[in-house]
Amino acid sequence: MRVHTEDRGRVLVVRMDRTDKRNAIDAEMTAELDAALNRLEDDNELWAGVLTGGDEVFCAGTDLIAGAGTPTERGGPYGVVGRTRTKPLVAAVEGLALGGGMELVLACDLVVAGAGATFGLPEVSRGVVATCGALFRGPRALPLNVARELLLTGDRLTADRAERLGFVNRLTPDGDALAQAVALAERVCENAPLSVRATLKAVEQLVGADDQSGWTATTQATATVMASQDLREGMSAFAEKRSPVWQGR
């Protein structure tokens, strides 16, 4: 099993568990994340969810060797980032949230992070682009120039800076992110569920009104790099653990 779930009252905890691969997402994990979030959506006894990884890593994104599998019918890529949800989802982040891992966080509604957590979008350092929402959700969740910095440099964002920028809702001591995320989800669950869902839907309709344009722009950016020599070089350099030599074509 790549994904484990635990019911905590009204809250469903969804934990990625592939620590030997830094929770990199392969086809099996995509299917299991999809199934877990389908259950969150369909079970009337569950009112909120928490998505988390291990104590040292949240998620390193797509498994670049095996691939992340086919997007699911209800959840899209990773079974998560293309999903229309009616129930709040809180990200509990310890350690690294990179690439697709950062895009999982961007797809959540609230973020709790341990002090040592770091966020990043390193795709350009591998000759690719962010394909799972970061190109438009990044500038939505962060100040525009900070989002550009992450997307264009591949550098990482520390948890304390992310909290100062308003991206992280709660900053905790290392190891406490999950407990505090569950507490935040439980706080949401103290409220009327229909009111919470109606509010979440209204907010998403407003902030996500241009999402289709964002996905279209992402597809166009992806097409630009897919046939490039730099993409092949980036993948080869990653597999061979060396610095890439870019050609710009």
pTM over 0.95: yes
Strand, coil or helix: what is 121?
Answer: coil
- Cα dist. 207→114, 121, 126, 145 in Å? 27, 21, 30, 19
Contacts of 196-204 with CB under 8 Å at 24 or more apart are: 196/47, 196/48, 196/87, 196/88, 197/86, 197/87, 200/85, 200/86, 200/87, 200/88, 200/109, 201/86, 204/84
Helix-, strand-, coil-residue percentages of the chain, each rounded to 5:
45, 20, 35
- Give the model's pLDDT for residue 235: 86
| CB atoms closer than 10 angstroms to residue 31 | 17
Edge-to-edge strands, sheet with 110-114: 3-8, 11-16, 48-52, 89-93, 110-114, 170-172
The pLDDT of residue 140: 97
Cα distances from 158 to residues 114, 115, 171, 179, 216, in angstroms, run: 10, 8, 11, 20, 30
What integer pLDDT is reported at residue 22 of this predicted model? 96
What's the DSSP call for residue 85? -
What dotted CATH number matches 3-173?
Answer: 3.90.226.10
Q: What is the pLDDT of residue 166?
A: 98
The CA distance from 78 to 26, in Å, is 8
Q: What confidence score (pLDDT) does residue 1 get?
A: 94
Q: Which residues are catalytic?
A: 103, 123
Q: Render each residue's pLDDT in the chain as its tens digit; 249 residues.
A: 999 999 999 999 999 999 999 999 999 999 999 999 999 999 999 999 999 998 889 999 999 889 999 999 999 999 999 999 999 999 999 999 999 999 999 999 999 999 999 999 999 999 999 999 999 999 999 999 999 999 999 999 999 999 999 999 999 999 999 999 999 999 999 999 999 999 999 999 999 999 999 999 999 999 999 989 999 998 898 888 899 999 999
